[in-house]
Structure 1
């Protein structure tokens, strides 16, 4: 056995998305970092070994896609990958290489693959001093010392070996009064899954299952129990097994049982299913996973224990370092051995059922304290092993969310080292520093904005060559951005529930509005319209605020007619620029309110899913409306709001699409500033979840070619120039700091949008 010794500032154990983001974040902050991964590839459940595609808040909320390191990775994967990402089973090795490339290209980061933590050693103060690592296939053992350790193993392996307290299974209802908790506590956990992928061969292909495969004979097992065959070419999350086996100790037994079931399910599809066997005739199995993807095991207790009430009530935490927005998704324990699949699936993914209403949540903030071990001062946690209840785990466990937790943990570790503190004892000023670093690195925090004193752009005046205005959109509009709004319009859109359209207010006057409505009853219908002030595009409260205006509108018989409302609203009525109002139409199933053929950036829609609670309507695209006067809601000052995405306002500058490129945005200071670094955030890949973007995708809104100029010596000097860009976050350290009182960014070409768009500009002296 070869023996080695290594030492680092931060040791990250586990190379899933949480671990990768933790390691990269800490290394970018200057810490010496090691990442230890027990598989030959990075990515954990998202890797090509398991192929669970990353999900997150954007599955349920418009403009909620996670940003930061995970966004950089997913944008890169879509730009490089020739294959679509539809659902589980579709991940290929391009994704593995994107992760690997970032890891090996990041300065200060050392990577150990196929390496397993076997021992944890503590010092006299009960802090972790080192871990022992065994490298598979290399007969090598490494003693790795560290100052801060981050457990991203999923199973909480490091925390367990260090003697930390952890929970397993489900809390009982009486402990925290959680609506999703069972009446009695139990050791039941959600199960593990493996996936498959099939290929259309263009000719009939037979399949014969081995004798040891499970044989299915009853269609009710699938069709009456919520196990849906939504795509013949890829595997299903519901090929899941947990109890009666332990998801850690019985992992190999679970893998074998899942393989038996997967082959049996494919046998059912190919040979016995009366609905599918003809459709599946030309399909052949291409791949079956042999590494179970886990959902739940140990949950390590931290300095705060997050329960279901926090995401459901959107608790505001002073130490907010991430956000989530997946629903409270608790799978039926037992998986394939349970009477039905996960409850939402068993209901056919109904959006207005009692279960759907109580499970829908977010976006909500997540506190740093659930990442801090309560027992070990230099141990942080990130991933599904964080300090949450079983019910809360149902929402925070999805990988896009755990990636944010990883970036937060890595950043917190670096700040702790810089401040000379233990990672578990950061004070308020330290946490504020963590938050500001996360924002600067591209993350989004719902209750924080850029207040970085080092960002001199915050004191500048801003002007632009032009700015777009919102006139509205109709069904006849087409997606001129090359992919941003490409959704087929529904055939029928009856107002079965109250529906709302968010409109950004840039002019403190709304003289009139109009909606494209249909009424095919042959008699006049009425519908109540109202304008309601809202706090953000995720303010789903319905009926809680007094409308600014309300009107009964007459809808005569006819299709796709514009029904006008002379609202006559001004600032005297409470209308305020720099925020949103929600145009609502009350339910009348005899009336249709049609969607627009194009998405207006930052303008989303929702409907009332239950009493006083809305959720995204369809994909959250824009409903048809016209507004007079047109709203000036894409002004250049939006790049300095401190928020780099549509949220409390549009928060982006867009040039007038009728004007030709190039278009320019300019900062000007009262006195000269010394600029050493310019950082830019561009719109793109926020509106929809990752799965919705095609192969080789470059977001049309994102500038492709741009330059940065500084005013020096009585003229403009180019200090940076970029071509072929598709990333939404770019940092430009200048080769030499420049003294200037004016700086401009010129967008020469986009990836398809006729408007130049910028979400944020930051300038630093170094």
Structure 2
């Protein structure tokens, strides 16, 4: 029978319409929106995620291809163990495991898989919100159009989140917002830019190249930039850099970065194709003969447009002074990174990056609208001044804030609260603890023991590593640069220690003991003691004993001054919470090895002490006169799941072939879920695309483990683990007086455990 369909009715038709009613609506499918939707869904909410593009990820997607970064800043600042955790941590670790080469298409697939895995999420791709219905000060619904299925959606909810970057939902619903830079006096921000520098950052478009192995011609399109000298920094172009290494191909800061985006895109296309024409056809780059233009972005990556106002506006002093907030729910650590509004056409540097000495808290009061009562805001929309926004805008910070928004929605629904009510001191601790129990990290706020049965158990371990030595491996490091090793030490003093040196001639070497001014930071600006070693030509062991003590746990820095006549012996042994550093700069995020701002912009001067990426970055070989108890079993109950002032980890002894942790209760307990926090190296940035990494899993991460009950029955066994946070629901509740955790040493020399919780 024929399936022919005919319609002859006259007059206008209406689009197909679909009504949707859910607990929570997230508009915007970048990393912030993805994390918001997943967080809410995992807390039991029915969620609609509305994304106007065919893929998820926003600036991190294959459409734009920017590597996602946050507080670790390419390991180019002093923020140690600062990688974001929780849902975005899971995404980063999964991407490293599957996609260490940094293929942006694989990253797209990962995000789609993770969202589709959550059965509570209805994902609407290619769907743009175009209207908001409000009653009083709240949103009742939004209308959205899908260009692919020609459907108009009417979506209703009591809670909404804007994660669109441009703040489409906030704008349509009447939420208060700002565009541009505040005056220096409003928040006493010395770094606030003037009109000459410009008040907005522009967009960027990247291109990828490929060596084909044979000569390739390039005929530029008619719209390509003809005179490359119009770009003041044109001499910086070369045939080797592509992708997001060309972040500084930027334009649009003098225009309306929302409504002029198409105009900005065409100008960026003009620049990109003019640049490639210059590289291919100027004759200055013979190495480009076999190279082809593999890919050019079709939409620009946006940096800045609207910023929405909450009950608090983060500002420069919050970032630089690392202020504490009662409602801290997240953190940042990227530099305050402002770009000249003229972008690639500016005579100025492409950016001005000024770092704080450590990470800073972000309060929940920045994450909801002050005048739309049921609107949460995340991503780059949070309530921050233009200057503070220059730090909070980066994707991993945005993603961590996304998890906050999704979790906040769940708490608001459960207790019938508005976001503003949730921000009050008597409520916000509930949000903080739910975040921490989901693997999220909030500086200065430990996970509390409410409902955690593990805290009431008697904990025993098979052994504990006490650090007395790191044995030499016959490799040496020349001290052409200043070098240091970070050692976590309990209250008291650092024991005397010996190190091996090889002097090329008779010389002296200055060795100092340092710590940070704020004990939770990792900038060694406080000199506690200094010794001078007189070295004779040849190999020798030197003993150092410092006269300094302290009243709290902290990181000590054993610093060796530069002397290219001296080599120091190294050790291949890698232990959680111990790092070697060089006093160097990372040109991707800083001008040099020392931050030296002028007095009038409100930043601190300090040295950068940076680790090196594996396989480099070995520790000094060292012998202490007495062992350091830096890996205690009690750390697994302190609620901090990464090194801060101490390792916060338990490690078994080197000769312990079958490391175990045993929990025993005086009376039987019923357990439904177990959470284990492991070490997947929070100092590793795990850039998502283009970068490429040497490892799929870091050297510290336990690959396999088992959980047994009192009778020795295996309740859970996990192999091929590559996640730092393992949330393990039991198929059936278990009533027991004992659990045994067995951690395998396969593929990892020193399994490390930050915490174990039972619920």
TM above 0.5, one fold? yes
Check 1:527–1:267 CA distance in 2 against 1; reply closer, same or farther (3 A cut). Answer: same
Structure 1 equivalent of residue 590 of structure 2:
none
Number of residue-to-residue matches in the alignment: 715
What is the deviation of 1:595? 6.5
Check 1:336–1:580 CA distance in 2 against 1; reply closer, same or farther (3 A cut). Answer: closer
- Tell me the alpha carbon deviations over residues 80-112 of structure 1, each in whole angstroms, 9 at most, x when there is no partner: 22x623xxxxx4221111111111111321111
Check 1:510–1:539 CA distance in 2 against 1; reply closer, same or farther (3 A cut). Answer: closer
**Are 2:486 and 1:493 equivalent residues in the alignment?**
no
Aligned counterpart in structure 2 of residue 717 of structure 1, from 694, 713, 723: 713
Do the aligned partners of 1:255 and 1:291 also contact (CA within 8 Å) in 2? yes
Do the aligned partners of 1:64 and 1:687 also contact (CA within 8 Å) in 2? yes
Check 1:629–1:221 CA distance in 2 against 1; reply closer, same or farther (3 A cut). Answer: same
Structure 1 equivalent of residue 387 of structure 2:
391
Unpaired runs of at least 5, structure 2: 1-14, 584-592, 596-603
Do the aligned partners of 1:55 and 1:398 also contact (CA within 8 Å) in 2? yes
Check 1:574–1:324 CA distance in 2 against 1; reply closer, same or farther (3 A cut). Answer: closer
**Are 2:53 and 1:39 equivalent residues in the alignment?**
yes
Do the aligned partners of 1:196 and 1:235 also contact (CA within 8 Å) in 2? no
What is the deviation of 1:738? 2.4
What is the deviation of 1:668? 2.3
Structure 2 equivalent of residue 556 of structure 1:
535
Aligned counterpart in structure 2 of residue 619 of structure 1, from 586, 592, 612: 612
Distance 1:758 1:433 in 2: 25
Structure 2 equivalent of residue 84 of structure 1:
101
Other structure's SS at 1:654 match: coil
Distance 1:164 1:129 in 2: 14
Do the aligned partners of 1:170 and 1:182 also contact (CA within 8 Å) in 2? yes
The equivalences for 1:466-505 within 5 A come to 466-473=463-470, 476=473, 492-495=479-482, 500-505=484-489
What is the deviation of 1:518? 5.9
What is the deviation of 1:702? 2.1
Greater mean alpha carbon deviation, residues 683-692 or residues 7-16:
683-692
Distance 1:329 1:299 in 2: 16
Do the aligned partners of 2:575 and 2:750 also contact (CA within 8 Å) in 1? no
The equivalences for 1:580-595 within 5 A come to 580-585=555-560
Check 1:510–1:165 CA distance in 2 against 1; reply closer, same or farther (3 A cut). Answer: closer
What is the deviation of 1:176? 2.3
Check 1:312–1:258 CA distance in 2 against 1; reply closer, same or farther (3 A cut). Answer: same
What is the deviation of 1:203? 2.5
The equivalences for 1:222-261 within 5 A come to 222=233, 231-232=241-242, 236-261=246-271
Unpaired runs of at least 5, structure 1: 86-90, 345-355, 479-488
Aligned counterpart in structure 2 of residue 99 of structure 1, from 79, 103, 111: 111
Distance 1:244 1:730 in 2: 47
**Are 2:728 and 1:726 equivalent residues in the alignment?**
no
Structure 2 equivalent of residue 464 of structure 1:
461
Do the aligned partners of 2:516 and 2:522 also contact (CA within 8 Å) in 1? no
Other structure's SS at 1:633 match: coil
Structure 2 equivalent of residue 112 of structure 1:
124
Check 1:574–1:165 CA distance in 2 against 1; reply closer, same or farther (3 A cut). Answer: closer
What is the deviation of 1:741? 2.5
Structure 2 equivalent of residue 446 of structure 1:
443
Check 1:210–1:747 CA distance in 2 against 1; reply closer, same or farther (3 A cut). Answer: same
Scaled by the length of structure 1, the TM-score of the pair is 0.87
The equivalences for 1:668-747 within 5 A come to 668-691=664-687, 694=693, 697-711=696-710, 715-747=711-743
What is the deviation of 1:647? 1.2
Structure 1 equivalent of residue 12 of structure 2:
none
Check 1:255–1:568 CA distance in 2 against 1; reply closer, same or farther (3 A cut). Answer: closer
Do the aligned partners of 1:379 and 1:424 also contact (CA within 8 Å) in 2? no
What is the deviation of 1:461? 2.8
- Tell me the alpha carbon deviations over residues 307-337 of structure 1, each in whole angstroms, 9 at most, x when there is no partner: 1111111011111111111111111112112
What is the deviation of 1:554? 2.0
- Tell me the alpha carbon deviations over residues 687-712 of structure 1, each in whole angstroms, 9 at most, x when there is no partner: 2111376377123322222110111x
What is the deviation of 1:757? 2.3
Structure 1 equivalent of residue 316 of structure 2:
308
Check 1:142–1:616 CA distance in 2 against 1; reply closer, same or farther (3 A cut). Answer: same
Do the aligned partners of 1:323 and 1:364 also contact (CA within 8 Å) in 2? yes
Structure 1 equivalent of residue 11 of structure 2:
none
Do the aligned partners of 2:32 and 2:400 also contact (CA within 8 Å) in 1? yes
Structure 2 equivalent of residue 66 of structure 1:
84
Distance 1:534 1:503 in 2: 16
